[in-house]
Each structure stands twice: as C-alpha cells, then as structure tokens.
C-alpha cells in the first residue's frame, strides 16, 4: 500500500503548519476529472502533430518501420546520450530474443553540455575510441553504430536528424538546425575511427524496439528518467503530414514532453512557474517539467522554500546549499518517501548532513516527506495520461497492451508504478486499465539502438 500524507500523525504540527502544508498539497493534487481532461486534450494534440509540421507535440516519424522478430543476429555498437550519462555499448544479437551486451558509462560534464557542439562530438568520439581499444574490438569493415540521441530532432532518413531544440539541461552552441549525425560522423572521420552511424534513434524508440525483441507485441516505449517522452507504432496512412509510403507502420517519437505549452490543461503551480523561469528552456517542455527526474527535486525545493519563508519550516532558516537552484535532488525524494524510521532519520541525514540545515524537528521532517509525496504523486498521475491518450488514439483501449518503461525515476521512485496504475484506473476504468501492463525495460535504449542499426544496415 502506498503511503499517503494521511498516514503521518500531524498532532505535533502547529495549526499554521497544517494549514500551509494543506494549501501546498492541494496545489499538487490532481483529481480524476482533471486526469480525464488532460488525456482528452492529449489526443487532440497528438492529432495536430500527425496532421501538420511544427505542432506543439511534434509526433516525429522515426523511419523505424517493421517489427523485429527476435531472430535478428549480429554485432553492433550503440551510443546512448540520455541526459545524465553517455553509454557506449557493444551488443551481440544472438537470435531467439537473446543478446549479450558490454557497456561503459562516461560522465558528460556541465562544461560539455553547455559548450560548442564540436567539443561534445569529439568527446563522444574519444569515448567510443577508448571503448573499442579497451574491449579489443577491431575490424577491417566499419562497425555499424546506432546513435541514441534523446533530444527533439527532425529526421529525414534513418540516420539523418536536424536538432530542433535542446532540452534537459543541454545547450551546446552550433547544433540547433544542424544534422547531429553528420556532426558526430565528422568527429569519427577526423579521429580515424572506423565507425559508421547507421541509425539515429530516440531513446523512446530504442526502448520500444529493445522490449519488442523479446515481446513482439510491445505497444509503447516510454522514458521516465532525466526527461520524459514516449514512442508508439502508428499506421502511416493516418499521418497526414507524411509524404512517403503510406502503406506501412512506423514508430512515432512523440516528443510529448512539450505537451500543453499553451497551458490549457496542465495544473501548474507557482512552484512550477518558478522552476520554468529559472530553467534554460523557458516556456518549453511543461509536461516534462512536471514529470521528469531532472525537475521534481527542484519543484519540491521551491515548495519547501515557500514554507521556510512563511517561518513554518526549519524555524524559518534555510541553508546555503538549499538556497541553491537544483540542489534538492529527485533521488532525495525517493529516500525520504521510503523512510519509515520513527524519527525519520534518513530524512534528517539528507536535510542536516547533505543540505546543512542547522537543525530539524520531527514535524519539519514529516512536512518535507509530505511535500515530496505530493510532488511525486502528481508526477506519476500526470504521466499516466499520455499512455491512456495513445491507447485511446490508436483504438486499443480494452486490448492487451505492454508499455515498456525505462528511466531511473520509474525504476527507483517509490510507488511510481502503483500511482500510475491508480491514475490509469481513474482515466480508463479498472477493467480496461487491467489490460495495460507496465514493464521496466532497464537500459533498453542501447539494445534498441543496436537492433535499429541492424535493421538499417540490412536495408
Ligand atoms: P537518462 O535519462 O540520462 O538516461 P536515468 O534514466 O538514469 O538517465 O535518469 C536520471 C534521472 O533520474 C535524474 O534526473 C535523477 O534525478 C533521477 N533519479 C536517479 N536516481 C533516482 C532515484 N533513486 N529516485 C528518483 N529519481 C532518481
Ligand atoms: Mg536513459
């Protein structure tokens, strides 16, 4: 059973604390009617994106058509630039839905995230080079690589994609409007690395394909990590803006994190607005900013500062650390939410030892836990709307559906799946919701990118 703020004994809170916390929790509460409204609007925006270029929800054809059977074989490289790490993988597809994978993670520094694109590409090429050296992978023929590049790009073929905009804290110069596959291929060429970018892949598309390698009827790939996005199969005859072959199915990268920049339905609070204003992509990615791992801690921090400023938390005293933007990590929320010790000692550790709040009372820690819960619960509830929306749009409500989900937020945030399920029950009704299966597809995008590189190389 997921905890609710009702399970915390509030008798030690002052009336003013109760009132202020209730007000904040109310702001983050999304009722069933609102969930349905968001879902309905989502379907409207999906249709707009399929009809015309330049819509808010971009609905980008991925050039990945056809389904995998699980019998594909061969050795491929994959890159995954997800937002937090860079992963280089070597994937051996063995057939029968089986594979082996060797991988190495590299940290992408803030300097690289905000510097010239050429430096980022050179860094990625150097990582691939050192991976190949360490793993003794050499070959006369060019190695085929699937490049998971999880930012909105307009694709013109399976291995060509022009960057539309940066998200998730990246802002490299000289990249928007350029083909990011060509730029990375140039770095490989300059450094004499014998690798060919066979496919450029969004992580949602990779996750969908990776899961489909074992479960061919997977319906959607969803990412809930640093960012938030999803992909699904669409009949291209229903995509008005598509000028190519209509007689096929293709995976659509929805770029649904951009949903509702018009602010029609998402219940944004003052804390969300403050985050948006201080983000590097103002007035963009509202849906993502309410759901994804990069942002939940900051929303929580904003709400805690509000209580501190009302002198209702930590005796009105913040710390240098807590005053700093982005200092309250989403992972702290997970730790605090599962803290069931009588004196909330895990929460005390984060607040006092990590964030240097001079001292906290039990009431303080209970309040922090309550706020974390409200922000995390809202994220999970809103995240279910786009899945329900896709099922509705594709006429699959009431059919068996497998939703493959990757990302640390989904994997580690306590009760995230439970809360999404509850939300799905409210949107679709329990009987139809029960047909929808959420599965963790851990690090699927590396495998998925390799499979897509294989499909591209075969063509
Ligand atoms: P990426 O999106 O780069 O592929 P991940 O899927 O690992 O990477 O997601 C990273 C995000 O997940 C970060 O924004 C981080 O805040 C969040 N995160 C990491 N650990 C946890 C955790 N234990 N609980 C909740 N969120 C977490
Ligand atoms: Mg990832």
| Predicted confidence (pLDDT) per residue in 307-358, tens digit | 999 999 999 999 999 999 999 999 999 999 999 999 999 999 999 999 999 9
Tell me, using a 6 A CB cutoff, whether residue 90 lines ligand 1: no
Cβ–ligand 1 contact at 147 (below 6 Å): no
Query: Catalytic: 178?
Result: no
Distance between CA atoms of residues 441 and 96, nearest Å:
18
Token reading at 417: 């799946």
Q: What is the mean predicted confidence (pLDDT) over 67-92?
A: 89
Q: Is pLDDT larger for residue 457 or for residue 363?
A: 363
User: How many A from CA of 225 to the centre of ligand 2?
Assistant: 6
Dist CA 314 CA 318 (whole Å): 7
CA–centroid distance for 283 within its chain: 18
Q: Using CA atoms, how far apart are residues 35 and 424, in angstroms rounded to an integer?
A: 9
Q: How confident is the model at residue 9 (pLDDT cuts 50, 70, 90)?
A: low
Token pair in block for residue 317: 């005293």
DSSP 3-state percent helix, strand, coil across the chain (nearest 5): 45, 20, 30
pLDDT of residue 138: 66
Residue environment code for 75-107, b if the CB has 16+ CB neighbours within 10 A, otherwise e = ebbbbbbbbbebbbbbbebeeebebeeebeebe
Query: Above 50 in pLDDT, residue 6?
Result: no
- Quick: pLDDT tens for 416-457: 999 999 999 999 999 999 999 999 998 788 899 999 999 998
Q: Give the pLDDT of residue 370.
A: 98
CA-CA distance, 338 to 378, in Å (whole number)? 17
- The answer to whether residue 8 scores a pLDDT higher than 80 is no
What pLDDT does 352 receive?
Answer: 98
410 CA distance to ligand 1 middle (Å)? 8
Nearest protein CA to atom 6 of ligand 1, as residue: 407
Least confident of 214-218, 269-273, 344-348, 358-362: 214-218
Ligand 1 atom, smallest distance to 406 CA: 6
- CA 315 to ligand 2 centroid distance, Å: 39
Q: 331: burial class by Cβ within 10 Å (0-12, 13-18, 19+)?
A: middle
- Judge whether 48 counts as a catalytic residue: no
Closest ligand, as measured to the CA of 86: 1
Q: Is 413 in the pocket of ligand 1 (CB under 6 A)?
A: yes
From atom 15 of ligand 1, which residue's Cα is the shortest distance away?
A: 293
Determine the average pLDDT of the residues in 205-212: 94
Is the confidence at residue 1, as pLDDT, over 50?
no
pTM: 0.94
- Of ligand 1's atoms, which has the minimum distance to the CA of residue 295? 14
Residue 226 beta carbon below 6 angstroms from any ligand 1 atom = yes
Model confidence at 247: pLDDT above 90: yes
CB distance 149 to ligand 1 below 6 Å: no
Q: What is the pLDDT of residues 103-113, one digit of tens each?
A: 999 999 999 99
**CB distance 446 to ligand 1 below 6 Å:** no
At 251, is the pLDDT very low, low, confident or very high (cuts 50, 70, 90)?
very high
Q: How confident is the model at residue 272 (pLDDT cuts 50, 70, 90)?
A: very high
Given the residues 168, 274, 289, 369, the one annotated as active site? 168
Atom of ligand 1 nearest to the CA of 407: 6
Q: Which atom of ligand 1 is nearest to the CA of 83?
A: 3
Residue in 293, 379, 416, 446 to alter for ligand 1 test, most ligand atoms within 8 A of Cβ:
293
Average pLDDT, the chain: 94
Average pLDDT, stretch 156-183? Answer: 96
| Closest atom of ligand 1 to CA, residue 409 | 26
Distance (Å, whole) CA 2 – CA 416: 9
For 322, the 3-state DSSP assignment is helix
d(CA 24, CA 409): 23
Ligand 2 center to residue 207 CA distance, Å? 9
Does residue 171 line the site of ligand 1, with CB under 6 A?
A: no
Pairing of strands 153-157, 85-95: unpaired
What percent of the chain is modeled with pLDDT above 70?
98
How large is the average pLDDT for residues 247-270?
97
Q: Which residue has the tokens 């937090």?
A: 84
């Amino acid at each position: 059973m997921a905890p609710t703020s009702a399970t915390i004994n509030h008798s030690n809170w002052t009336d003013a604390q109760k009132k202020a916390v209730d007000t904040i929790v109310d702001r983050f509460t999304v009722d069933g009617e609102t969930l349905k409204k968001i879902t309905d609007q989502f379907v409207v925006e999906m249709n707009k994106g399929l009809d015309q270029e330049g819509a808010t929800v971009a609905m980008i054809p991925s050039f990945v058509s056809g389904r995998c059977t699980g019998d594909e074989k061969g050795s491929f490289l994959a890159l995954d630039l997800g937002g937090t790490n860079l992963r280089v993988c070597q994937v051996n597809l063995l057939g029968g839905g089986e594979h082996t994978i060797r991988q190495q993670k590299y940290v992408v520094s803030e300097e690289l995230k905000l510097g010239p694109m050429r430096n980022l590409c050179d860094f990625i090429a150097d990582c691939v080079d050192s991976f190949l050296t360490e793993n003794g992978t050499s070959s006369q023929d060019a190695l085929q690589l699937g490049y998971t590049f999880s930012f909105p790009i307009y694709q013109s073929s399976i291995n060509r994609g022009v960057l539309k905009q940066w998200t998730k804290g990246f802002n490299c110069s000289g990249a928007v409007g350029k083909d990011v596959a060509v730029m990375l291929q140039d770095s490989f060429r300059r450094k004499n690395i014998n690798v060919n970018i066979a496919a450029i892949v969004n992580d949602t598309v990779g996750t969908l394909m990776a899961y489909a390698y074992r479960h061919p009827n997977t319906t959607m790939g969803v990412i809930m990590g640093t960012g938030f996005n999803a992909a699904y199969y669409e009949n291209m005859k229903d995509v008005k803006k598509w000028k190519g072959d209509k007689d096929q199915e293709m995976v659509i990268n929805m770029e649904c994190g951009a949903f509702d920049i018009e602010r029609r339905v998402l219940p944004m609070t003052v804390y969300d607005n403050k985050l948006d204003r201080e983000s590097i992509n103002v007035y963009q990615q509202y849906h993502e900013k309410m759901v994804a791992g990069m942002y939940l801690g900051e929303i929580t921090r904003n709400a805690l500062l509000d209580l501190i400023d009302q002198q209702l938390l930590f005796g009105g005293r913040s710390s240098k650390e807590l005053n700093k933007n982005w200092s309250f990590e989403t992972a702290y929320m997970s730790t605090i939410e599962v803290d069931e010790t009588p004196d909330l000692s895990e929460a005390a550790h984060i607040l006092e030892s990590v964030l240097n709040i001079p001292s906290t009372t039990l009431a303080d820690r209970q309040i922090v836990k309550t706020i974390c819960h409200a922000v995390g619960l809202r994220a999970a509830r809103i995240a279910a709307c786009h899945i329900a929306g896709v099922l509705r749009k594709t006429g699959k409500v009431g059919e068996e559906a497998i939703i493959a989900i990757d990302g640390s937020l989904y994997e580690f945030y306590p009760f995230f799946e439970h809360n999404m399920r509850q939300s799905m029950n409210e949107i679709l009704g329990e009987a139809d919701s029960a047909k929808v299966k959420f599965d963790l597809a851990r690090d699927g995008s590396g495998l998925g990118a390799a499979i897509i590189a294989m499909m591209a190389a075969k063509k």
